[in-house]
Structures are given as C-alpha cells and as structure tokens.
Amino acid sequence: MAEEVKKAEEVKKPRKPLDPNSAKYKLGKIASDAFANTIEAKKQGKPVAWVSSNFPVEIPETLGIWTAYPENQAAGIAARGAGERMCNVAEADGYSNDICAYARISLAYAKLKECPEQDVAMPDVLLCCNNICNCMIKWYENLSQELNIPMIMLDIPFNPDYEVSDAQVAYVTGQFWDAVHQLEDLFGLKWDDKKFEEVTGFSCRASRAWLEATAQAKYTPSPFNGFDLLNHMAVMVTARGKEEAGEAMETLLKEYKENHEKGESTFRAEEKYRVMFEGIACWPYLRATSRGLKDRGINMVTTIYADAFGFDYNSFDEMIRAYCSVPNAINLEKSRDKRVKLCKDNNVEGLLVHTNRSCKLWSGFMAEMSRQIGEECGIPVTSFDGDQADPRNFSEAQYDTRVQGLMEIMEGNKADRAGKEA
C-alpha cells in the first residue's frame, strides 16, 4: 500500500512554479493578498468593512478603509468544498435553505468567525449596495444585527427603463455623499478629492484592461479559456480601485494578445465550439462544469462578467450611472442587448444558462431573455439547474446531458452551414 502511494507520488508531475511576471501569478496574489492584508490591518486596529461586490469601491479606497468581500469569500469557501458545511450552520439557526447560499455561508461565518477554507477579517462596518439584488439588504441587515455593527446602505434600485434617469442619478449621488460622511464620522477619516481622483483612475484603468482582455475572445480560436475569467474576476471585485489591479489586468491583456499572435490559448483542447456561459459559476463543481465543456471541445468564450466590471467613466455622474447599470440592476431589454453584443462580438455558437437556485433575480427572467437572445443570434440555448455555492442543488448527470444536447445542436448547425457553403 505504502509502495503504491509512493509510486503515485513519483508519477505525479511537480507543479511548475508560476512566473511571478505572469498575469496568473499577479492576479492570484492580488486576490489572496486582499484577504491576508485585511486580516493584518485588522490586527493593527485599522477599520475593516465587509462590502457587497458592486458597492462603489471608490468610497472605501479613498477613505483608506480595509475591505473584505463576503461574496468573494463565500465563493472561495464553496470552491474549496465547505459550502454545505457552512450552509448547515446557518440552517440550524433557522435560515431557510431557499436563501442565497452566499448569504447562508456569510451568516454562518459571522457566527463561527472562522472557516479554514477562507478566513476574513471581522468587520467594523458593513457597506451594502443592492444593485445586484435586494437579498443583499436582508443579508446585511442580519449581519448588522448579529455583529452589532453599523450598516451603510447605498440603494441602487432595479431600473425598469433602458436609460438611467436623472432622478436616479440624483438619488444615488445623495446617498454616495451620505455614505462618505457617515464613514468619516464613524472612523474619524477625511475625504480627499485628490485621493478620490487617483482611485477612480485606478478603477478605470483596471476596467479598461479587463474589458479589452475579455474582448480578445473575438479571435477564433479564443486566446483564453473563459473559465479563467471566473477566477480573474475576483480581482475586479476586490481590488479594482488599486493600482496593482490595473497593472495585472494589462499583463493579462498583453498575454492574451500574445497568445493570439502565437496561435496559443489557455484553453487546453481543440476549440470546436464557442459558447457563452450565463450566470454565476457553480463554485462547488467548477472542475466538473469546466471538464464537461472542455472534453467536448467547447470553450466558454464569454460571460456577462466580461461586461459587468467595466466601470469606465469620465465624470462623477458617469460613475454613478455605471453603478446603476450593472447586470442585475437593468431591465430585460438592456440585459439582452448586452449579451447579444457579447455573443455577436465573440462569434458565440450556443448559450449555456445556469439556472442558479441561489439567485432569484438573475434566474427570474432568464427564460424569456435567453429565448430572445437565441432568436436574435440564431443560436441554441440550454439551461441546467445548479447553485453558486450549495452543492446539494446540482446534478452532474443533468449538466452532462444538457451540455451534450447543446453540443449536438451546435454540431448540426455547423454541418448545415458547411452544407450551404458547399
């Protein structure tokens, strides 16, 4: 037995150390440092905020408040296999298992204050923004009660119209400065316009590089595997207001451009089909969902995340409008048009939709929207049931069958096109 283990160890190739100049290294370091640095700052008595992913990072970054992102933490915990364990803790306290699994994991963490799969610094304040969902409000209300700390709510309502109204900009602007003043009072901090300008510069720089890097999927084959985006996105969530994020994103862009020039890709298989993936990743089954595509030569070349963190703006008003236009804050028509553009720009041949049990808002009008996307782009659409963090809501067999079905339709479409061309 011991010999078998030894043999297995011998055959196992040692993992090649990452080049510290590579985008993967830089982005991975930024993402992991984000947690570690905040834990260290907390030890030194610096104020720490738990922040929702699309809260204007310009506020804590300018004020010098250290941040941790519970959604990012929950995704990490789920990806490392502890989603169910943490969900069980929250459920034992009375939280329904119908509630978003990120929220359940986060509320469990607030109770336990430790989780080896991903620890974070405990917060002194909560910065909540509901431009991704109203579930966030309830989640943070409860965190505020459980931890007995203040919560600052920046309300960005779902916009039923295509354009952001002046009334909405005025409303969000009023709250933006209220949030700043509350934080100044809470921690004795002072807003600095110059620092704000610097932070917005970093945020826009990172966003521009991210948008351009993800747009490299316009080439066939794509110079990257779309699953890369799900990992790199963490930096856009947690660090887009930092200088190093922009620098790392620019490295990513450079590498993708080089890949294209050299005919290389991080997609380690022949790219036979190109799909758009819709929804949050199934973090507990990242490998299974990735392999189900790769084994069939399907590259997920784009996702709405490519657009979601493109916070590029030229004025304060434009910044507010950008935060009012994140994917879950916009109506069906605008959501559809953004996706149609991504499908067309990136020569997408099929749409794979994750019906995410955790996210009622994202999944709630997905059926109608994906029908419209399919019709407008002339591509097949298939969906599978899953969850962003609770492993109990995903079936690998169903996923496999659905992906197989999607592939067969794409194959048929390719054959039809080839027949017509001939």
User: Interface with another protein by CB under 8 A: which residues?
Assistant: 93-96, 98-100, 103, 130, 133-135, 137-139, 141-142, 144-145, 150-151, 153, 155, 157-161, 165, 167-168, 170-171, 173-175, 178, 331-332, 355, 357, 360-361, 363-368
Distance CA 131, CA 60 (A): 17
Tokens standing for 209?
Answer: 């590089």
Residue 118 or 335: which CB sits closer to another protein?
335
Q: Give the nearest distance from C-beta 251 to another protein in angstroms.
A: 37
Which of residues 205 and 357 has its CB atom nearest to another protein in the complex?
A: 357
Smaller CB separation from another protein, 146 or 261: 146
Of 34 and 136, the one with the shorter C-beta distance to another protein is 136
Rounded to a whole number of angstroms, the minimum distance from the CB of residue 5 to another protein is 44
Count how many residues are written for the chain: 422
Closest separation in Å from C-beta 16 to another protein: 42
Report in angstroms how near the CB of residue 349 gets to another protein at its nearest.
25
Cβ proximity to another protein: between 155 and 197 the closer is 155
Which amino acid is located at 337 in the chain? Answer: D
Least separation in angstroms between CB 317 and another protein: 15
Q: Toward another protein, which CB reaches closer, 103 or 199?
A: 103
125: Cβ contacts below 8 Å, ≥ 6 apart: 47, 48, 49, 50, 65, 149, 150, 151, 152, 183, 186, 187
State the minimum distance, in angstroms, from the CB of residue 107 to another protein: 8
Alpha-carbon separation of residue 99 from 269, 351, 356 (angstroms): 37, 27, 12
Helix, strand, coil shares, percent, the chain, to 5: 60, 10, 30
Decide whether 216 or 335 has the Cβ nearer to another protein.
Answer: 335
Check residue 185 and report its DSSP letter.
H
Say how many C-beta atoms besides its own lie within 10 A of residue 334's C-beta.
17
Question: Cβ atoms within 10 A of the Cβ of 370, count?
Answer: 22
Q: In the complex, what is the shortest distance from the CB of residue 357 to another protein, in angstroms, rounded to a whole number?
A: 6
Residue for token digits 């910044």?
A: 319
Packed helices 135-147 and 101-112: angle between N→C axes, nearest 10 degrees: 10
Closest distance to another protein from the beta carbon of 151 (Å): 5
Strand duo 125-129 + 48-51: pairing = parallel
Q: How far is the CB of 359 from another protein (least distance, A)?
A: 8
Q: Which of 99/233 has CB closer to another protein?
A: 99
- The set of residues, in sequence order, having a beta carbon less than 8 Å from that of 79 and lying 6+ positions away, is 283, 284, 286
Angle at 105 between CA 25 and CA 23, to 5 degrees: 10
Q: Which is nearer to another protein, 35 or 176 (CB)?
A: 176
Task: Select from 398, 290, 392, 384 the least CA-distant residue to 83.
Answer: 392
Question: Taking a C-beta distance cutoff of 8 angstroms, is the pair 302, 346 a contact?
Answer: yes
What b/e string do you get for 285-295 counting C-beta neighbours within 10 Å, with b at 16 or more? bbeebbebbbe
